[in-house]
Amino acid sequence: MTNHGQEKPKYKALSAEEERVIVHKGTERPFTGKYNDFDEEGQYNCKRCGEPLYKSDDKFDGHCGWPSFDDEIPGAIKRIPDADGRRIEIVCANCGAHLGHVFEGENFTKKNIRHCVNSVSLTFEAVKLPQELYDTAYFASGCFWGTQYHFQKQAGVISTEVGYMGGHRENPSYEQVCTGNTGHAETTKVVFDPSKTSYEKLAQLFFETHDQSQVNRQGPDIGTQYRSVIFYTSEEEKQTAKKLIEQLKNKGFKVATELTPASTFWKAENYHQNYYQNKGGSPYCHIYQKKF
């Protein structure tokens, strides 16, 4: 009878640099790793075998040049005294891939521990949350380049898009909207996580980043497409907007902002998306002013 023995585990093929670090216990140069300056939500897995190692909630900036974590997924990490007699090496408990070292007593976080990990030893798996966990809001406050600029920097905002809403023509082009004959307003669609921010906070930002007293214009941009509008998607959003408008009026501000039920949002051309992020600079008529 032939003894086939135990089947060897199948691991991912490694590049020369990956093998230098993962197999031969090397170290990548600081501040060069893919995940050093990286803060997306998800899970970090072993590059060689794919086993889950760390969650993004446990990642922090250790100011050391390598990804830092103050906790691991239970049972995922094995600790080994380093050959230098001073440090503790950490490896994948499943396949033994070298990850880096673990340090204690540095007081970076409450857990007082730092897993210093080579990016090259990791892969990242983004967390895809069900869309129903997010809410969507629509704001028009003049040129949508500037409106998007402020919302995409707001904590809790998942994504933003610019487009057109409130008109009577289907799928209008920018040139058509600019004639003022389609009835649309340049609008920013804001998808946000209600567990991290609120509609009221976003509506406050809307008022604080444009001049809500102007009618059919914003700064040098003139036309109905530049009017100030909150396109509400629920009675709750409408009442929140009305409450903020009353607060502004009580503070002596004039308010020309329209409250209109949301209708079809037509996404604008690609060259309008993330304009200031792609081109650099900052908005010329959307200046932040604290009002609440």
- State the DSSP code for 146: H
User: Do residues 93 and 77 lie in contact, with contact meaning Cβ atoms separated by under 8 Å?
Assistant: yes
Rounded-to-integer distance, Cα 203 and Cα 231, Å = 11
Q: Among all chains, which residue has been given the structure tokens 């604290």? A: 290
**Burial tier of 200 (Cβ tally within 10 Å: 0-12, 13-18, 19+):** middle
3-state secondary structure of 248: helix
Q: Among all chains, which residue has been given the structure tokens 């970090």? A: 44
User: Is 143 one of the catalytic residues?
Assistant: yes
The catalytic position among 46, 92, 143, 285 is 143
The catalytic position among 46, 92, 116, 285 is 116
3-state secondary structure of 108: coil
Q: Among all chains, which residue has been given the structure tokens 């809410």? A: 135
Q: Among all chains, which residue has been given the structure tokens 């509506």? A: 203
Rounded-to-integer distance, Cα 75 and Cα 55, Å = 13
- Give catalytic residue positions: 116, 143
